[in-house]
Amino acid sequence: MLAMDKTKAQAWAHGFYVHAIGLTRRSPTFVAGLCMVLFFLGVAIFAGVIAPYSPTESFSYDILRAPSDRFIFGSDGNGMDVFSRVIYGCRYAFGIAVPAGLIMVGIGLPLGLIAGYKGGLLDEVLLRTLDVLRAFPTIILALAVVAATGQSLISMVVVIGVLDSPIFARVVRAEVLNLRASTFVKAAVAMGNPAWRVMVVHILPNAILGATAQLPMRMAWAVRISATLAFIGVGIQAPTPEWGAMIRQGAEYVITGEWWAALFPGLALMLLVLGFNLLGDGLTDILDPKRRGVGK
């Protein structure tokens, strides 16, 4: 019995290894992005174990201490451990990126599906509405809405998700327009399937691929825009361990030589955004049949 279980485990491990090697050869960009995102996700989940201090614990006699054995990334202007705050900042990054991404898809996907399949006046009305929403500079519109609704995590997530939903609507609509004239969709309509079933069962699984590849990139945008809002003083504010707020707080000390308070949250922000973008590019390589053979 133990020998059989060991054989199954070895077969599973071998299969996993073969698939991992194949995926790496097929899209090393995807693997690199996935590893980076999973690393930060793990840090966010186990922040309470990794961080040596509470992110808001202040040491009044250790203000702006340089990186050392006690403070790996140094301490900030309030005497808080920068390393612990960067670690907990991962939670806020994913706490913004994941729900904002779900809102983007939840709004944009059905709008693009309906607009592309129905066409006509409904398509024009939806497209023009989305064009109006996208016509405003995103950062300015987000700044105005967040300032009006309040500087809370929930309001920021909702604003970012709604503002970016037109991108998903347009991506899905373009896919639906191509699929609407395909043979299998015409066959489904000829068999008497209602419109909702044709859209959900036959079109949606094929139209969602482009949106899937876009999602990590837009999650990167969500992290970046939230940090930008916090940096200019409109988003999440200190002492909350959010990377944009930490960069803003630490930037004023760079001139006097205390560079660590802004550098380390800035590096964390840059690496997570890079990871999301690499993941999105890799998904595009994998899911887009026109690019599967590129580089071979």
Give the domain CATH number at 142: 1.10.3720.10
Cis peptide before 239 (omega within 30 of 0): yes
Q: Which of 154-163, 251-260, 265-274 has the highest mean pLDDT?
A: 265-274
Rounded to whole angstroms, the Cα distance separating 26 from 180 reads 30
Rounded to whole angstroms, the Cα distance separating 106 from 99 reads 10
In which domain, by residue range, is 199 found? Answer: 2-287
Reply yes or no on whether the pLDDT at 12 is more than 60: no
Other beta carbons less than 10 A from residue 156's beta carbon: 28
* 174-178 long-range contacts, CB within 8 A, separation 24+: 174/112, 174/116, 174/210, 175/112, 175/116, 175/206, 175/207, 175/208, 175/209, 175/210, 176/112, 176/113, 176/115, 176/116, 176/117, 176/203, 176/207, 177/116
Reply yes or no on whether the pLDDT at 58 is more than 80: yes
Q: Residue 177 corresponds to which tokens in the numbers above?
A: 């327009």
Q: Does 295 map to a domain?
A: no
Q: Does 293 map to a domain?
A: no
pLDDT the model gives residue 26: 66
Q: Does 153 map to a domain?
A: yes
Rounded to whole angstroms, the Cα distance separating 233 from 143 reads 10
Q: Does 93 map to a domain?
A: yes
Reply yes or no on whether the pLDDT at 259 is more than 80: yes
Q: Does 148 map to a domain?
A: yes
Q: Does 296 map to a domain?
A: no
Mean pLDDT for the stretch of residues 193-206: 81
Side-chain-side CA neighbours of 77 within 13 Å: the count stands at 17
Mean pLDDT for the stretch of residues 188-213: 81
Model pLDDT for residues 98-117, shown as the tens digit of each residue: 999 999 999 989 988 888 88
pLDDT the model gives residue 295: 43
Mean pLDDT for the stretch of residues 232-248: 83
Q: Residue 102 corresponds to which tokens in the numbers above?
A: 């779900």
Of 226, 247, 243, nearest to 145 by C-alpha is 226
Interior/surface letters 27-37, b for 16+ CB within 10 angstroms, e for the rest:
bebbbbbbebb
- Count of domains observed in the chain: 1
**Residue 65 DSSP label:** P
Q: Does 206 map to a domain?
A: yes
pLDDT the model gives residue 24: 60
Band of residue 51 on the pLDDT scale cut at 50, 70, 90: very high
Which of 12-16, 177-181, 254-258 is predicted least confidently? 12-16
pLDDT the model gives residue 234: 77
Q: Does 243 map to a domain?
A: yes
Rounded to whole angstroms, the Cα distance separating 40 from 165 reads 25
